[in-house]
Amino acid sequence: MNTKRFIPVAAPTLNGNERAYVLDCLDSTWISSNGKYVEQFERAFAEFCGVKHAAACCNGTVALHLALMALGVGPKDEVIVPTLTFVATANAVTYCGARPVFVDSEPETWNIDPEQIEAKITTRTKGIIVVHLYGHPVDMDPVMSIARRHNLFVIEDAAEAHGAEYKGRKVGSIGDIATFSFYGNKIITTGEGGMVVTNDDALASKVRQLKGQGMDPNKRYWFPIVGYNYRMTNVAAAIGLAQLERAEWHIERRREVAKWYYQALKDNPSLTLPVEREWAKNVYWMFTVVLNDNVRKSRDHIMQELAAEGIETRPVFYPLHTLPPYNRLSRGQRFPVASHLGARGINLPTWAGLKKADIEFICKVLKEFVRGSG
């Protein structure tokens, strides 16, 4: 089989006012962290999430760091995180001098398993970070119940889930504070960028102070605390605002892509497909398939075969407990669900510009390779 086509795993779709708003920044010379688009983007994103406050920053990892610092996380603290997530979730905890404590995945949604959280709570536990993995929201009610019972904070890491909904509420509006990423492969992008959102006035104020070098908001160039230069540029915010104006279009296009994948792959005995629970709206940041045990080829071998046909893919994240900086934290513990997903999961091309013919081609090739491995 030979083809000259190349289908990337992700690509931004910039079909709104992005060009006009960026040119406006250039024409006005407001290109740094001051300028009208930062405030407009923050205000619009807060409204999009259904929260009072949104503070833009330079990337999603920074957003997590700001949220943790605003909540007072420091040395000797522990923060519970899912082991199946991008490494930034644990790294941000480590930046604070705290210790990430890992929890296995729930087998249907692949998110953190609420039933396993309570067993990981100790006297040092400060809070819980949930990750709305690949666009499907976490089952938040039991998580919030555990957190309130033990006086813990909850951070929603919604980097992959812009616009996802839990029981009719947008992710980012349920926990104490939430973070988003706007990297180039995300549902809404600014190239690089992040956002912290919350309904808590004090937390919002702290985040804004920390991201601006710790400057006193009422006394210019007075720095009562050590802060960081974590601000977003006006140019990035201009792109983000234009993207946000078409957020529902971006989300619905991804849901349509997911529908095409379901139609082509739903009856395949070699693949487990993502779910959408009855209480959820999945926004499918990535359409992910998991190779069942009847597929004898390795996940990486299947990915190499797809690459040879011009289909770019990504592996599901390696669980954090397997990574060199963190494996010493979980010696002797088992995370069977996350380990299986991390070894057998493949992220297929998922972005708004894909056509039905692209998905049909991807699925045809994938089915041939998994069928030929039995």
Same domain, 118 and 170: yes
Question: Rounded mean pLDDT of 205-230?
Answer: 97
Q: Quick check: is 288 in a domain?
A: yes
pLDDT value at 2 more than 60: no
Residue 13 located in a structural domain: no
pLDDT number for residue 318:
97
Q: Please give the backbone phi and psi of residue 113, each rounded to the nearest 5 degrees, phi first.
A: -85, 110
Q: What are phi and psi of 282, to 5 degrees?
A: -85, 130
Tell whether 98 is covered by a domain: yes
Is the per-residue pLDDT at 365 higher than 80?
A: yes
14 — pLDDT class (breaks 50, 70, 90): very high
Residue 5 is assigned to a structural domain of this protein: no
12 within some domain: no
3, part of any domain: no
Count how many domains the chain has: 2
Q: Are 185 and 248 in contact (CB under 8 A)?
A: no
Query: Does residue 241 sit in the same domain as residue 257?
Result: no
Catalytic residues: 186
Residue located via tokens 């939430």: 178
Tell me whether residue 85 is in a domain: yes
Give 233-257 pLDDT, tens digit per residue: 999 999 999 999 999 999 999 999 9
pLDDT at 41: 98
**Pick from 192, 217, 245: which residue ends a domain?**
245
Helix (H, G, I), strand (E, B), or coil: what is residue 73?
coil
**Domain of residue 318, CATH code:** 3.90.1150.10
Torsion, CA 365, CA 369, CA 370, CA 374, rounded to 10 = 150
* pLDDT tier, 369 (very low <50, low <70, confident <90, very high otherwise): very high
Domain shared by 224 and 136, yes or no: yes
- Tell me the average pLDDT across 62-77: 98
Residues 221 and 294 in one domain: no
- Mean pLDDT, the chain, rounded, equals 97
* 41-52: pLDDT as tens digits: 999 999 999 999
Choose one of 245, 265, 288: the last residue of a domain.
245
Rounded CA gap, 160 and 134, in Å? 5
| Segment 185-211, tens digit of pLDDT | 999 999 999 999 999 999 999 999 999
Assess whether 60 and 200 both reside in one domain.
yes
Gyration radius of the chain's alpha carbons:
21
Of 1-5, 70-74, 228-232, the least confident? 1-5
Average pLDDT estimate for 292-297: 95
Residues 173 and 88 in one domain: yes
pLDDT of residue 374: 55
Range of the domain at 133: 18-245
Q: What is the pTM of this model?
A: 0.97
The answer on 231 and 251 residing in a single domain is no
Contact 135, 284 (CB under 8 A): yes
The SS3 call for residue 335 is coil
309 & 320 share domain: yes
Please report the pLDDT score of residue 373 as a whole number: 63
Separation in Å, CA 263 to CA 219, 268, 303 = 59, 10, 21
Given this model, what pLDDT does residue 330 score? Answer: 87
Question: 316 pLDDT exceeds 60?
Answer: yes
Q: 303 and 174 in one domain?
A: no
- Are both 47 and 165 inside the same structural domain? yes
- Using the predicted structure, report yes or no on whether residue 99 has a pLDDT greater than 90: yes
* Domain contains 317: yes
- Residue range 218-241: mean pLDDT, rounded: 97
Q: What is the rounded average pLDDT of the residues 272-292?
A: 98
pLDDT category at 332 given cuts 50, 70, 90 is confident
pLDDT > 70 fraction of the chain, expressed in percent and rounded: 98
163-191 residue pLDDT tens:
999 999 999 999 999 999 999 999 999 99
pLDDT at 344 over 80: yes
Check whether residue 72 and residue 154 sit in a common domain.
yes
Residue 218 confidence (pLDDT) above 70? yes
Q: Mean pLDDT over residues 58-86, rounded?
A: 98
Residue 3 has pLDDT above 80, yes or no: no
Domain boundary residue among 197, 222, 245? 245
The answer to whether residues 46 and 179 belong to one domain is yes
CATH of the domain at 96: 3.40.640.10
The per-residue pLDDT for 331 is: 84
61 alpha-carbon distance from chain centroid: 10
Q: Give the whole-number percent of the chain exceeding pLDDT 90.
A: 97
